[in-house]
Structure 1
Amino acid sequence: MRPSLQNVVASTFRGLHTVAPLSRPQRCFHQPIFASIPRKRSFFTSHRLLASSTKDGVSTTSEDDTTNSSETQQQSPTPASKRKPVRASAAKTLRLGLTTKPPQRTTTPRKDTTDSEMDYRRTITSICVAQSFDMEAVQDILRFHAFELDPDGTEFDPTGVVHARGINNGDIFVFPSGTVVAWSVPTDALMTLATKQLIRAAQLPHLNRLEMEELEFIPDESRDTSYMKGEVVVLGTRAQELENHRLDTTLAKIAFSSGLARSPKLAVLENQAIDYFQNSKNSLDFIEGGLEHKLKRSAVLKMTGQLLSLRSQLNHYSDITDQLPDMFWDSESNLENYYNQISTILDIRQRIGILNKKIDYGFENVSVLREMVSEKYGHRLEWIIIFLITIEVLFELRRVYRESISEASSE
């Protein structure tokens, strides 16, 4: 017999009374109503603009606040990100003296470039890796690596400059002063070429003292001539675009590159002078303290040789001090103008004059140390002579004493 609905419901209620009561749930903390309300702009602030209250979604600032805010906006300068910082040149650093190392110079990123490709295509990079290059070996290395030599027929003497083209259609100029200048060539590719390939043709390389200089250039299709606009080279490419004739453009690049190549070469010599003065500082500190300086003659000779080598590299073994390279004498007059423009921007003449004065100062210090060392050795020789004379006098007294004793005994 099936149980009725009433019996089922009654048995269910009886089971609920027999089941153990459930555990009481733990009480949770809830966010109060006032804490959930959004914080007003005027909450704990003394800023006049933030303290302005809002009503019905419309800002109701006072007239004074509006006036002050407008004045603040007028007086506030333009954002720094929209301004291109000025690139620090090597000459500006050298004007402070050769007692501190100049900071690493790199160009600031251009705001009109969106990727690295556009960056290097508007960059002139110059790097000095050695004291000099064997230009015949340079040509052999570039030919071996499938570079096209003198592609535009400039017919310059290869002992003065070697022009090659091959990396992304960029131009590479190698100078006998141990410097390589590249136009529109990636920096890593130029470093690989200069430090791994061309280094085999280098004489007295200095890979631990590399110096690099970078400038920006802008092609101008509406001009035949080029010029310097600040520290930016404006390259006239009208003949190249209209007649597909790159000779004039290449000649301008060679003139600018020849002037730019002097800057990293000069920076290497500047750093050598800085290192020399830092190393000789200890000797001068001994003299300043009135202490006897324990300097050997070989050390003074080494310091003299460093200064002589520095001066010879600056004034004799390179074309840094030349007013105009020999290869430009028979060329157009514009090349001399380009060379002088970039040399003026980089303050080449002023830096050469300052470095020569610093070398003169170094020679004065060396001459003082040389005199001190010579005086020290002279004093030593004097004491040796005095000691020998004393011994001779003692032997003579001994002889006279023996003679007197012998005469007394014979009598």
Structure 2
Amino acid sequence: MVRTRFVNGLRILNALPGVKFLFANPFRLTADKSTFYHPQELFALQLKRKPIRIKPPETKYKTPGVFTVRAFPTAEEINLEALLPVLEDALSLKAEHIQQSLDVLRAVNESTLGCESQEIYVFREGVVVLWNVPSIAINNILAEVHKFEHHRYANHVVEQDSETIGYVYNYNQEDYVGMTEKQEVMLSPTNTQWEKYVTSHVLAANVKLTVWERQLEKYIRDVEFITEDLKYGRQIRMSEHRVLRKHGAIFALRHVINLSSALLEPPQMMNYTIRLDTMYKDLNTFYAMQKRLRFIKEKMNHCLELILLLSAYLKDKHRLRLEWLVIGLILIELCFETFYCVDRFFPIFK
């Protein structure tokens, strides 16, 4: 009864002209027990803010005429020969190797007739580049690719180190291809296959270099305490076995970047024209590939010098320990010989 009178009083106050009730709420006030709220509870409910949703990066490219290309670093290596029939059978794509390159696989969705084509470029070094592919299809494609990967990256690495960029077609100046002022890739309306391949090559090199930078930063954090110990003259808190492993890790990274990776070189193809070469250099400049590569090599050289210094220090320490051990053994032998000589000329035990 009291609750009903309270609700009726609230309705009368809300009905008065020029009066805005302090505890107005979006819920319907009734005398029902399940929908009745105490005024303090109503005020607490109104203070709850709606959570802010962060839009994904690809929402930037929802402008008509602007399409999206995304690159994902998924693993150290992908078995393209085993992946080729799966793309054709399971995903119904037309897949083939790029001309004069067995390390790149190109797949096209032929069902998108009359629209912008959906293309996929899979690199043997563990990078998947998708052109105009929706997010739902991306998850399905990556799930199939994961089955043929070696040394797969963690999911957070795949997402954080991925790259998304928009691309448009140049219908006014067909001679110009490259980056625009809006940070979008400009393609020509005709012969887009090789332009997309060059762009995919640069995107693959960019995301792969990002993974290497992250690995090097983790390596630097792991050995950062050594410089502090050397600076303040503290005891080195690293064994020879661990130093050897760190030495092997930095050499393995240098081997991948300097010797085994082909993504840091221009793509190999027959019709590599001057326009494609200009486009390749333009994209490399946009992502600062040469500058980042120079920095990462300088960091690796510094880490290698630190590990070599530490290895030499531990070797000297081990050598010094062996020398003192030999000196101790010589002293023990000298004591025994001295005791033997004294006992021979001055028998004290007879």
Q: Same fold (TM over 0.5)?
A: yes
Counterparts of 1:43-58 in structure 2 under 5 Å? none
> Which letter does structure 2 place at the counterpart of 1:254?
Y
Which secondary structure does the structure 2 equivalent of 1:185 belong to? coil
Match of 1:302 in 2: 245
Distance 1:274 1:369 in 2: 19
Query: 215-224 or 358-367, which moves further after superposition?
Result: 215-224
Contact conserved, 2:126 with 2:149, CA < 8 A, in 1? yes
Match of 2:327 in 1: 386
> Do residues 232 (structure 1) and 184 (structure 2) align?
yes
Distance 1:257 1:408 in 2: 92
Match of 1:347 in 2: 288
> Which letter does structure 1 place at the counterpart of 2:93?
F
Q: CA deviation at 1:216?
A: 0.8
Q: CA, structure 1 residues 227+295, in 2 after alignment: closer, same or farther (shift >3 Å)? A: closer
Match of 1:272 in 2: 215
> Which letter does structure 1 place at the counterpart of 2:122?
V
Contact conserved, 1:135 with 1:158, CA < 8 A, in 2? no
Deviations 1:94-145 (A, max 9, x none): xxxxxxxxxxxx74743864xxxx79x7111011111222221231331232
Match of 1:134 in 2: 79
Match of 1:183 in 2: 131
Distance 1:133 1:158 in 2: 15
Contact conserved, 1:133 with 1:176, CA < 8 A, in 2? yes
Which secondary structure does the structure 2 equivalent of 1:140 belong to? helix
Contact conserved, 1:222 with 1:236, CA < 8 A, in 2? no
Distance 2:255 2:192 in 1: 34
Distance 1:123 1:326 in 2: 25
Match of 2:104 in 1: 161
Pick the aligned partner of 2:89 from 141, 144, 156.
144
Distance 2:287 2:58 in 1: 17
> Do residues 218 (structure 1) and 168 (structure 2) align?
yes
Distance 2:170 2:273 in 1: 20
TM-score normalised by structure 1 residue count: 0.64
> Which letter does structure 2 place at the counterpart of 1:215?
I
Contact conserved, 2:101 with 2:268, CA < 8 A, in 1? no
Which secondary structure does the structure 2 equivalent of 1:215 belong to? strand
Q: CA deviation at 1:407?
A: 10
Q: CA deviation at 1:286?
A: 1.8
Q: CA deviation at 1:406?
A: 4.3
Which secondary structure does the structure 1 equivalent of 2:260 belong to? coil
Match of 2:70 in 1: 125
Q: Which runs of 5+ in 2 are unaligned?
A: 1-12, 20-55
Which secondary structure does the structure 2 equivalent of 1:221 belong to? coil
Contact conserved, 1:259 with 1:340, CA < 8 A, in 2? no
Distance 2:236 2:137 in 1: 50
Match of 1:366 in 2: 307
Distance 1:394 1:306 in 2: 48
Which secondary structure does the structure 2 equivalent of 1:380 belong to? helix
Which secondary structure does the structure 1 equivalent of 2:60 belong to? coil
Corresponding residue pairs, total: 290
Q: Which runs of 5+ in 1 are unaligned?
A: 1-30, 38-105, 240-247
Q: CA, structure 1 residues 368+291, in 2 after alignment: closer, same or farther (shift >3 Å)? A: same
Distance 1:406 1:385 in 2: 30
Which secondary structure does the structure 2 equivalent of 1:326 belong to? coil
Which secondary structure does the structure 2 equivalent of 1:180 belong to? strand
Q: CA deviation at 1:333?
A: 3.0
Alignment RMSD, CA only? 2.8
Query: 206-215 or 167-176, which moves further after superposition?
Result: 167-176
Match of 1:326 in 2: 268
Which secondary structure does the structure 2 equivalent of 1:261 belong to? helix
> Which letter does structure 1 place at the counterpart of 2:163?
E
Distance 1:385 1:221 in 2: 83
Q: CA deviation at 1:249?
A: 1.2
Q: CA deviation at 1:321?
A: 2.9
The percent identity for this pair of structures is 22
Distance 2:86 2:345 in 1: 90
Distance 2:67 2:264 in 1: 28
Contact conserved, 1:220 with 1:234, CA < 8 A, in 2? yes
